[in-house]
Structure 1
Amino acid sequence: MDPKRELTSVDLAAIVRELGAYEGAKVDKAYLYGDDLVRLKLRDFDRGRLELLLEVGEIKRAHTVAPERVPDAPGRPPQFAMMLRNRLSGADFAGVEQYEFDRILEFTFEREDGTTRIIVELFGQGNVAVTNGEYEVIDCLETVRLKSRTVVPGSRYEFPESRTNPLTISREAFAYEMDDSDSDVVRTLATQLNFGGLYAEEVCSRAGIEKGMDIADADEAVYDRLYETIERLAIDIRNANVDPRLYLEDTDDESGSPDDTDETSPDRVVDVTPFPLEERAELPADAYETFLSALDDYFFRLELADEDEPDPTTQRPDFEAQIAKYERIIEQQEGAIDGFEREADALREQAESLYANYGLVDEVLSTIRTAREQDRPWDEIEATFDEGKERGIEAAEAVIDIDGSEGTVTVDVDGEYVDLVVRDGVEQNADRLYTEAKTVEEKKEGALAAIEDTREDLEDAKRRRDEWEADDATDEADMDETDEEIDWLSESSIPIRENEPWYDRFRWFHTSDGYLVIGGRNADQNEELVKKYLEPGDKVLHTQAHGGPVTVLKATEPSEASSHDIELPDSSIEEAAQFAVSYSSVWKDGRYAGDVYAVDSDQVTKTPESGEYLEKGGFAVRGDRTYYDDTPVGVAVGIQCEPYTRVIGGPPSAIEGTAATTIALEPGRYAQADAAKRIYRRFRERFEDESYVRKVASPDRIQHFMPPGGSRIAED
């Protein structure tokens, strides 16, 4: 399971309640690390020093941390950090709110000279925007110029479009959102109700509702159970009734080797939640008193785990992501430059139009100034102009709006609305507009310089990509030459290069064409494969005999976009069919062949026919099936030495080309454990480096790839 790296909307709702307890704390200093981590150092009257981290990069989080865990202060503070210090030093923390049910937090700070808001966007690319009390953007880590919203210095901050808040939704609106879906229950909760995948599944589990239930089959009773579950969840969050959990994944070596005397490695953190989840019930967990302390511990341990990852200098950087990022920034910068040009031109045109209509503008300004000198109220002045419009007076018709609080008047000059300061004359207003145009031009010059820097970064990324690929091609050529000479069985010392793929807990192999095949080990895994990992374009295979695994031939990896357009090779389907029959009751019964059928993923459903019932791990098939009659059983277990060192197993045609050595099996009289020990001894005899076999191919790991029931080595 991949560890959580971004906080959910539910997490943020819980965080807001706990952070509210720190209202009144004073800001000491602000720091910026890199381009995505903001640290605020505060002093709380009761609790002393308080550290708040706001991170919006690959990891997206907002929480307090123990002072001893804060990173060392960077060198010379960048402009963004200096701006924060100027605005926040000595300010009081006035509170934090979550914007609707979105992944946005708004922190408010008060000082005698004004209000400062820090708006943290924990979605998409992430962003931190600093605004004044009127939401005018002072500065931001990332400028945003989209059709739907704009976040740039000098503009008013625009929140994303409103989304449904499931924690405040009425029963009627809930039913409407559910009825508006054409998907199943869990996907509707995740998307229409904005719960996201994990909490959508959790709501279903707590309500006792089948996640894959089609919306068309959900009646009012189902809606009632779901809505009651959501209401209870909302009440817990509103009342800060949390019971935080930090979830772990066991990383102990499961080989069971008696030679292991070292202390087991610490468990790996994978999730942190405000309260216990039924969806995480199978994982070990640590309890915490507060969610903030759980978040602090989780991300601290996650960072330590990341530091233990292999040296990134030995792995290919994601040049494509870097190039795409710079290209996206350039596009935004070009849009900003165009915007600055248009804004400057518009301001100059307004100034020139004031001179072109000097008499009209001067009459409007003089009339208002004279009235104010006579102490006439602003609303009376506005009423006078309205009367003048009715009589067709040109100067009155030009007045669009009067704002007494700002002392301004908006005038229609040559079809353009121009804001004028009443106390100033025509020349002063025109000069102000020219000055504003000059300021915008200066912004344009800064943007032009910035875009040149970004273009240099883009070219640098492309150059580094080309150099890496050239070196990689050379290394591969050298490796190809070396590969022909390497005899792994004769090597005295083989380096260990471990890898734990996400599918390792299932039965699995890669076909000779490179496609992944996964099969369930039990009813729970069969259920999980159909519900969680079955995607458009995949093939599902199953034996006619009862007691076979759900076998999925994946067209794509989970991180890739699924597609109906991928045509799976016949050779891969045939190997998947052999896999399905070999790990079924056919092998266990001592038979050497069995019938297998294959269907497309969209033919598989967890919804039974009317009057029928599906057992756990079972599924229904709609439509025609393709049969592979008398498919022979066949399994080989091998040891792979590159690119990873591990045991692999599956159809011989797929395994033999990948492993350094293999041993073929057939149904026989030896139990799994006994046969695994015999295979282990054979492997130790074949390798010069016996310690290597002991490390990567213990009997337990070999047994992981063996069919159920009795087996024997084929040549015995």
Structure 2
Amino acid sequence: MDPKRELTSVDLAALVREFGTYEGAKVDKAYRYGDDLVRLKMRDFDRGRIELLLEVGEVKRAHTVAQERVPDAPGRPPQFAMMLRNRLSGADFAGVEQYEFDRILEFTFERDDGTTRLIVELFGQGNVAVTDGEYEVIDCLETVRLKSRTVVPGSRYEFPDTRTNPLTVSREVFAHEMEESDTDVVRTLATQLNFGGLYAEEICTRAGVEKAMDIGDADEETYDRLYEAIERLALDIRNGNFNSRLYRESADESESADDDNNEDRANDDGDTGRVVDVTPFPLEEHDEAGFDGEPYDTFLDALDDYFFHLELEDEEEPDPTSQRPDFGEEIAKHERIIEQQQGAIEGFEQEAENLRENAELLYANYGLVDDILSTIQEARAQDRPWDEIEARFEDGAEQGIEAAEAVIDVDGSEGIVTVDVDGEYIELVAHDGVEQNADRLYTEAKRVAEKKEGALAAIEDTREDLKDAKRRRDEWEEQDGKPGAGDEDEDDEDDDRDWLAESSIPIRENEPWFDRFRWFHTSDGYLVIGGRDADQNEELVKKYLEPGDKVLHTQAHGGPVTVLKATDPSEASSSDIELPESSIEEAAQFAVSYSSVWKDGRYAGDVYAVDSDQVTKTPESGEYLEKGGFAIRGDRTYYRDTPVGAAVGIQCEPYTRVIGGPPSAIEGTAETTIELEPGRYAQADAAKRLYRRFRDRFEDETFVRKIASPDRIQHFMPPGGSRIAEE
């Protein structure tokens, strides 16, 4: 039996019951990992910190996790995570419901400024849609445009068509649904009654009905036994009568599945056998199959352990007794860890910066914050209860008092007041003054910065492990006498590989110095970089423009400074290099495509090119240059009516990454590309469409999720609306 990777409708019905115990918890912060995992950090009065994971990718799950298993916070939060924080920080968890008997959970959060719903789709491609109280979609991980339903920002969320709910169906409707079938009993329960394969078999076993019985042979007594088994199952779920189980293969079965490996497999808790399922109550089907069932007090705890061990087994170390170690997987693992550590470092930097900014906001709004703290301290000095203080602030807010309106939450148990200062939610220790609270934030920022230093040391250790793995790989190849021991041979082998058909593609990352700019390599191999904003335009001219380079710019307002590099900054610059005309033309197309020409929906524009020594930051007498602007001395070479053109592709060697730029430049470098043209889809929406196209093209879908998320694709797209050229 393959391990379960998606929760069933029965699982979700049980989850809703257990999630109800967390109603009233407050949301602290939201995170997004990759393109299919959302995490909510919450606080509960009785339980303390609560971590909720919602995953809608290859694995589809929704459950709480132990704090020690929470993934490290990613780097700079993407737009989706920031939107969630703005809508949910300080909100109360008001409950969760399952839509009909479908694999959809609807989480509701309440705040004074409105209701927010997270609708989690745990079927098909999976999705998380964020809506307001009226079900208008604010944002979603995946846009859906089908004949039957639409889920796009700005529209009303549409649920899938209603299906029969077997847990609430009447005896008459049950018999009607069964009689409408033309197959056997178990398949009818699985499809017509929507139980799915496992629970359809379980119902048959509990009812003592032959699974393969033809529906035409089933009589009223058969229907009675089946319906009674369903009613008992529904009653257990409604009453929360769970006796959860985590199922593993028996030790003997695990060993036999491991080819010739005779060593016992054990996880870190000393349990043998790989995990295969987790259920809210014992299943006779699994007992008959010989699986070992481990009891749990709650279904949420069982889910946490199950998916934790499932992930460990998916990433299990290669077998040291095999003929050849899987160096590729070991190297890919170290590279994944480095990526996570880099994300953690960026996260520490962002967190420390946010803490410092919040401290500065307290000083910038000193009078407002001092008024709030003084009011609380005076009330507490008069022995007024916290509930009365909170009610006083609520009354003041209704009267339009600025200080009262800024108070978001009063937590008497912790002596904490949460305030809204210029759109930032800041927790204040009520008995301290403004200066003490600001100092606390500065101290916390310093502590976070120290964590960053520890992460920097850890990443160096991982890089050493990566280097050691590569060294051992090369030694193995050399001792084995196989061709391909050196990098050149590996590159030759890569040239012949059909990357789209590969079932597992190793991640080989490279972070070039120019990655934060817009960039591409011309078909002749020259680097072109462009600014994303005025600050980067300024930086390019001041820091990276060297003799021999070409500078290109559109006649239209709002274009990036585009530099065609003759040499790398690490090389000696030279004005003797003659740049190919083909590279200049590609750079011109790049300049016009990433300017306002594309954003305005036009298909061509004028571009001029000059040598680097014609560009200066010194204006003419009496003139003024804005940030990002520059002056040109001498003649310009014009490229009239340069057509816009942009493509996004995925490169597989020598590095795995998303690239973008003029189609003629990237088609020879990327394994697969998608060409764009100005269109009606917003940039984020178009990026999600490209992501789905790429995912369908690669056999290894996990590879696409790891290196080509919609956010990363969007990084290489022109500003404004786009559409796929062949559509």
The interval holding the TM-score normalised by the smaller chain is 0.3 to 0.5
TM-score, normalised by the number of residues in structure 2: 0.45
Q: Looking at CA atoms only, which structure, 1 or 2, has the larger radius of gyration?
A: 1
TM-score, normalised by the number of residues in structure 1: 0.45
